[in-house]
Structure 1
Amino acid sequence: MGFNPVGQLETELISALEDALDKVLADHDKSIEKPEIEVEVPREKEHGDYATNLAMVMAGRLSTNPRKLAEDLVEAFDFDLVSNLEIAGPGFINFHLKNDWLYQTVNQVITAAEEYGQTEKGKGEKVQIEFVSTNPTGPLHVGHSRGAVVGDVLANIMEEVNYDVYREYLINDAGNQMDLLGESTYLRYRELFGKEIHMPENSYQGNYIIEVAEELKAEYGDKLMEMDEKEALIISREKAYEHMLANIKEDLAEFRIEFDNWFSERTLHEENKIQEVIKLLRDKGYIYDKDGAIWFASTEFGDDKDRVAIKNDGSPTYMAADMAYHYDKLERGFDHLINVWGADHHGYIDRMKAVIEAFGYDRDTLEIIIVQIVTLLRDGRKVPMSKRAGDFVTMREVMEEVGRDAARYFYTMRSTDSHFDFDLDLAKKESTDNPVYYIQYANARIHSILDNAGDLISEAGDADLNLLQDESEVDLMKMIARYPDQLELAAARRAPHMIANYAHELAGAFHGFYNRCRVITDDKELSLARLQLVRAAKVVLENVLRVLGVSAPEEM
């Protein structure tokens, strides 16, 4: 894997703190359990490059004043790259580092190139991420788009830190909604032959249904009018299903989202997987019969009530299909399952974790990420949507209006647990008010500098980076060095927005440097040092944009 200067530096800092703590404990002449030592980057840069609360954690165990303990730790601390230590507040220790590690990082970033940021944090753990998984009853709309990008970017992030990631889409192609899709299509087909129809209130009524009906007419002529209605409905359903699934796959591919597997729910029914799981759980004592139905005793695992698995008419519930599907996932050998769900699935979490536990696995083997709803704004006003009525904005329409890059970035830039107002007008702006434009403009500026550097580029690798002393230069180097740590944090917290925000901060650091420091000057040595810094910024900015699935244009 690639070089991780931040991780290495933090490891060395922690090791030096452990040595200092050992010296302090020896002075106290006490044998006491030591905590896991942590260091973090302070929010305010005047508080140093790193900070630790070790003195505050240990003070209680030693029955001593935390500031006094901090003073003892500072006195015992020894680490070459630290220029200054200070004690703040009740006992925080702030570390101010020399710039040497930053100069090392600049050169190592350029050497690592596309591998910069990659770490071994995931240790090859097999993780399945299931996302989108919408019913194939219509085009993907704006609500699906956010979960699609979140799942895709999270998968990219986790791959960068060495998780073995498998992307999967569950095709919900069984059940009543598919029959309703077929009925809606068949009615529109009859309408094309002049028949008066009545569309049920819960039917699918978008123009896309008429498109499928027209395809049916082109393929079958009036033959469906003459055949048994039951058979005609099946043909209509399958035609609509094929059309919708192809549409979904095409839209996702256009949005730069690919899956390792498209799992058909129908296979669970066709291969008797649902009944197998019901028997498995019955043998374990977690299935019982009541009122003619078959129930799963999910309350034994913390759910608020037991759940019907097989209805009294013998048909399986959605719950039963999900039980079989998740058992299939576990049987395929994944170490961890992550489901990216919409906000309307929040009440489903406890019952699915109960299922995992009933199978004999730790309930945390399954992790659910709930993605809150998206509200589209145009001219400052909310854009209304209603899927069954067909009055909704599709994922493709948003892509075409604002572009793939802006759409992907905007869907990623807020935490999944917060509602998101997607300002279409802002996403189309070609100004630095638009965050994705601001980031891509930084990349274009980098390329412009490098294009104008001429033969100096070939000498930049030997530059004296000690010449980089300006505050904006140091800030940019620190931001570059943070990238591996940001990837690890974003992976651990399942927080793609952290990488989107980092990209914006990195672009800001570069713009600040660009506005303050002329790169090509009469001072050749300084020019070479700044060119090397620009080259490092290029590597990291393009790496982070690749993870976000956003293009890195060389000119704007």
Structure 2
Amino acid sequence: MSVTPAELAVAVLAAARAAITERDLDTSVLPATTSVERPRNPEHGDYASNIALQLGKKVGLNPRDLAAAVAKNLQETPGIDAVEIAGPGFLNIRLSAGAAGGLAGRVVREGRSYGRSETLAKEKVNLEFVSANPTGPVHLGHTRWAAVGDALGRILAAAGADVTREHYINDAGVQMNRFGESVQAAAHGRPTPPDGYPGEYVQDIANVIKSQNPDIMQMSEEDQQKAFLDEAYKAMLREMRESLERFGVHFDVWFSEKTLHEGGAVEHALDELRKQGHVFEQDGAVWLRTTDFGDDKDRVLIRSNGEKTYFAADAAYYINKRERGFDRCIYMLGADHHGYVGRLKAIAACAGDDPQRNIEVLIGQLVSLLRGGEPVRLSKRAGTLITLDELIDAVGVDAARYSLARSSTDSPLTLDIEVITRQKNDNPVFYVQYVGARTASVARYAADLGHERGDAYDAALLVHEKELDLLKAIGDFPGVVATAAELREPHRVARYLEDLAAAYHRFYDNCRVLPQGDEPFTDTNRARLWLNDATRQVIVNGLDLLGVSAPERM
């Protein structure tokens, strides 16, 4: 028998429901979910709940009286040793030794599935992130969302959602023509055109195109322009895919903006918006009345000259996502896109959807890179940029992904290459990976000594304070994953892993896992070996959610 905090919270809610039902009181006041917390003082028990304080007055009972009724029902739950009432109606809950220690066995047996849930099982999510223009390499400005977006996709999937990771290719508009012209100019040895794209990568692409298409330089000017644009586009898109895959980021869908225009999706979207009654004409242009839904101004869909706007493509793209069956469309945009929040929400509302449910817009702040406290110089290859490939070469995938994902995206982030690559405990990624490697080392050493963990252990033997602290930390993992999914905050997983690593260090320093010298291998050693292996499993599972490896040796 084992009990996680999430399961205990379900039991508390069930006990409260029973107590209220027994008294023929109003059960509609019960929340859909509740939670339990760890008391600051361990002497007060393993977990605490304030549900009686929340509900007492609502059902017309003194909170302490309701707490007594809840405690009576809760004590019948397997794995709960005692429930005490404190203060005006707090419930202090103590788990039985077997229930606490049994968690280690459960984690080892569940393996990679521990921490996963069906919390979001009915959600079909479109997660769009990075969405870089195919006019240059993936660079530092994209990397934060590459790491965070991929981690969020993993976390949403772990919470049961059906997630499609999508990259929107901004391949329509003048920027593509300028890119093609820049590559063509490089091929001829001419200067970069005004507002064109500089950087060695442009020359590299031009050289490849010429070598693979020897007749291109003999084409007419018009045909040559089109050929260079088409070939440069394919080459850049291929490079973007390779860089992102190298970073461990895989997209299920690469969606071309051009297809919205070429396939009639924009016209279809305008028809759908007209049906909802929010399209109007003024000054020869076609508008969407987004101010009806909180936008700061109405938006032009078709200019007076008949040209469709980027906003029209945005509307078509959203409607396309919804018609592909996605319940929730999550947009992860850069720091310079704050203005898009209101207009995208308004598109959803104008389309007849719920902007609080069907669409989410997340804004990520910028990343800067230092080396020894000094700004890293600009890329030789990309000119004004530092590329993702250069970041990977400098720090490695694990250090980059973990460091980018462990902080809230609400604030700008500065990374120092020397800090995030040094193998010391003040480097968070090393700190977590080292504990994962240490747990693997302990298991290997036990096997070398002939100490078999076996198929079972006495869970009641795990009673040391540091053992119980580690078990509680392990038990928190499913709730952390569910919360990270609900709040769209992958950094919660990283910070949790750092706390778990600290709890393991304290356990390891105070509780000898394996015997020394001629000491016998006792049942307590066996139980601690299960706890050691459970810790390893949680670190593996948690790092995997961040797209980071958990090496067995360091």
What is the TM-score normalised by the length of structure 2? Answer: 0.91
> How much has 1:231 moved relative to structure 2?
2.8
Moved more, 35-44 or 123-132: 35-44
Query: What's the secondary structure of 1:232's corresponding residue?
Result: helix
Which residue of structure 2 aligns with residue 172 of structure 1? 170
Query: What's the secondary structure of 1:549's corresponding residue?
Result: coil
Between the aligned partners of 1:390 and 1:326, the Cα distance in structure 2 is 34
Which residue of structure 1 aligns with residue 204 of structure 2? 211
Moved more, 298-307 or 182-191: 182-191
Between the aligned partners of 2:297 and 2:259, the Cα distance in structure 1 is 29
Which residue of structure 2 aligns with residue 35 of structure 1? 30
Between the aligned partners of 1:178 and 1:45, the Cα distance in structure 2 is 62
> How much has 1:49 moved relative to structure 2?
3.3
CA 1:486–1:4: 2 relative to 1, 3 Å: farther
CA 1:357–1:430: 2 relative to 1, 3 Å: same
Between the aligned partners of 1:32 and 1:252, the Cα distance in structure 2 is 51
Deviation string, structure 1 residues 313-341 (Cα, Å, up to 9, x no partner): 32221111111111111111112111111
Which residue of structure 2 aligns with residue 282 of structure 1? 274
> How much has 1:99 moved relative to structure 2?
2.9
One-letter amino acid of the counterpart of residue 531, structure 1 = L
Which residue of structure 2 aligns with residue 376 of structure 1? 369
Deviation string, structure 1 residues 449-497 (Cα, Å, up to 9, x no partner): 1111126553443322222221111111111111111111111111111
Which residue of structure 1 aligns with residue 49 of structure 2? 52
CA 1:4–1:286: 2 relative to 1, 3 Å: farther
> How much has 1:199 moved relative to structure 2?
3.6
Which residue of structure 2 aligns with residue 152 of structure 1? 150
Moved more, 470-479 or 454-463: 454-463
Is the contact between residue 302 and residue 312 of structure 2 (CA under 8 Å) also seen in structure 1?
yes
- Structure 2 gaps of 5+ residues are none
Between the aligned partners of 1:128 and 1:531, the Cα distance in structure 2 is 42
Between the aligned partners of 1:122 and 1:315, the Cα distance in structure 2 is 41
Q: Confirm or deny that 1:402 pairs with 2:392.
A: no
One-letter amino acid of the counterpart of residue 250, structure 1 = E
Deviation string, structure 1 residues 114-152 (Cα, Å, up to 9, x no partner): 111121212242111111111111111112111111111
Query: What's the secondary structure of 1:462's corresponding residue?
Result: coil
Which residue of structure 2 aligns with residue 489 of structure 1? 483
Which residue of structure 1 aligns with residue 10 of structure 2? 11
Which residue of structure 1 aligns with residue 497 of structure 2? 503
- Structure 1 gaps of 5+ residues are none
1:105-504 map, 5 Å? 105-191=103-189, 195=190, 197=191, 199-200=193-194, 202-220=195-213, 223-224=216-217, 227-363=219-355, 364-383=357-376, 390-454=383-447, 457-504=451-498
Moved more, 524-533 or 456-465: 456-465
One-letter amino acid of the counterpart of residue 136, structure 2 = G
> How much has 1:222 moved relative to structure 2?
8.2
CA 1:130–1:113: 2 relative to 1, 3 Å: same
Between the aligned partners of 2:83 and 2:277, the Cα distance in structure 1 is 63
CA 1:527–1:151: 2 relative to 1, 3 Å: same
CA 1:87–1:22: 2 relative to 1, 3 Å: farther
Which residue of structure 2 aligns with residue 85 of structure 1? 84
Between the aligned partners of 1:470 and 1:453, the Cα distance in structure 2 is 21
1:542-553 map, 5 Å? 542-553=540-551
Is the contact between residue 266 and residue 313 of structure 2 (CA under 8 Å) also seen in structure 1?
yes
Moved more, 5-14 or 57-66: 57-66
Number of residue-to-residue matches in the alignment: 543
Is the contact between residue 460 and residue 529 of structure 1 (CA under 8 Å) also seen in structure 2?
no
Between the aligned partners of 2:234 and 2:40, the Cα distance in structure 1 is 55
CA RMSD of aligned residues (A): 2.6
Query: What's the secondary structure of 2:414's corresponding residue?
Result: strand
1:530-545 map, 5 Å? 530-545=528-543
Query: What's the secondary structure of 1:166's corresponding residue?
Result: strand
> How much has 1:63 moved relative to structure 2?
6.5
Is the contact between residue 6 and residue 481 of structure 1 (CA under 8 Å) also seen in structure 2?
yes
Deviation string, structure 1 residues 230-279 (Cα, Å, up to 9, x no partner): 33222222222112111110011101111111111111111121112122
> How much has 1:499 moved relative to structure 2?
1.0
> How much has 1:532 moved relative to structure 2?
1.2
Deviation string, structure 1 residues 188-214 (Cα, Å, up to 9, x no partner): 2222xxx4x3641x3211221121122
Is the contact between residue 4 and residue 117 of structure 1 (CA under 8 Å) also seen in structure 2?
no
CA 1:425–1:43: 2 relative to 1, 3 Å: farther
CA 1:552–1:479: 2 relative to 1, 3 Å: same
1:101 alignment partner, one of 92, 95, 99: 99
Between the aligned partners of 1:543 and 1:204, the Cα distance in structure 2 is 42
Between the aligned partners of 1:108 and 1:172, the Cα distance in structure 2 is 47
Between the aligned partners of 1:251 and 1:4, the Cα distance in structure 2 is 43
Between the aligned partners of 1:407 and 1:7, the Cα distance in structure 2 is 32
> How much has 1:41 moved relative to structure 2?
2.1
Between the aligned partners of 2:440 and 2:344, the Cα distance in structure 1 is 49
One-letter amino acid of the counterpart of residue 516, structure 1 = N
One-letter amino acid of the counterpart of residue 544, structure 1 = G
Between the aligned partners of 2:407 and 2:168, the Cα distance in structure 1 is 25
What is the TM-score normalised by the length of structure 1? Answer: 0.91
Moved more, 231-240 or 499-508: 231-240
Is the contact between residue 67 and residue 85 of structure 2 (CA under 8 Å) also seen in structure 1?
no
CA 1:389–1:317: 2 relative to 1, 3 Å: farther
One-letter amino acid of the counterpart of residue 258, structure 1 = H
One-letter amino acid of the counterpart of residue 300, structure 2 = V
Deviation string, structure 1 residues 503-551 (Cα, Å, up to 9, x no partner): 2122221122112222111252221111111121122111112221111
CA 1:467–1:72: 2 relative to 1, 3 Å: closer
Query: What's the secondary structure of 2:485's corresponding residue?
Result: helix
> How much has 1:33 moved relative to structure 2?
4.9
Is the contact between residue 409 and residue 550 of structure 1 (CA under 8 Å) also seen in structure 2?
yes
> How much has 1:218 moved relative to structure 2?
2.7
> How much has 1:64 moved relative to structure 2?
7.0
Query: What's the secondary structure of 1:519's corresponding residue?
Result: coil
